[in-house]
Homo-oligomer: A and B are copies of this chain.
Amino acid sequence: MPKLRHPDRLGLHLRVVLEGGIAIGPGRAELLEAIRDAGSISAAGRSMAMSYKRAWDLVEEMNACFAAPVVSTSTGGVAGGGSRLTDTGTAVLAAYRRIEAAAADAAAAELCALSALLAPERTGAADAQP
C-alpha cells in the first residue's frame, strides 16, 4: 500500500491539478489551515510534524503559483511578526474544501459499493460472525 499522510481517513483523498501542473492536495490544504490557525509557518509545520524548511518551501511554491500570495509574512513589530492567510489563500483553501465535499457527496454510494467488495477481515465483518 502506498504511504498515506492520513491512512486512517477513509473516503476520498483528492489532489487538484491546475494549469501549469500546480497541485493542491490534502497536505497543502492542511498546511494552509494550520498557518491560519497558528499564525506562523514554523508553528504550522511543527503541528504537522513537517520540517520548517519543507513548510516554507511549500508556501513559497504556492505563493509563486497564484496571482497573489496565499500566505503573507511580517517580521518584527509589536506582535513579533508572523504569517497569515491572505484573501487568496483563504479562497484557495475554501475552494479545495468545497471540491472535496462535493466529490465526497457525489461518490458516497460508489464508495459503499467498493467497500462491499473488500475481504471480510478488512472491514471487521469477520468479527461480527458467530
Contacts and interface: CB of A to CB of B under 8 A. Distances in A.
Nearest to A117: B66
The quantity of this chain's copies bound in the complex is 2
Interface in A63-105: 64-68, 88, 91-92, 95-96, 98-99, 102-103, 105
B119 A67 contact: yes
A67 B120 contact: yes
A48 interface: no
B2 A22 contact: no
Interface string A88-130: 1001100110110011011100110111011110111000000
Contacts of A13: 14-17, 23, 25
Contacts of A1: 21-23, 61
A72 to B, nearest CB: 15
Contact of A111 (B66, B99, B110, B118): B99
A52 B60 CA distance: 38
13 contacts: A7-B21, A12-B14, A12-B99, A16-B111, A18-B111, A18-B115, A20-B123, A22-B118, A64-B119, A66-B117, A91-B117, A92-B114, A102-B107
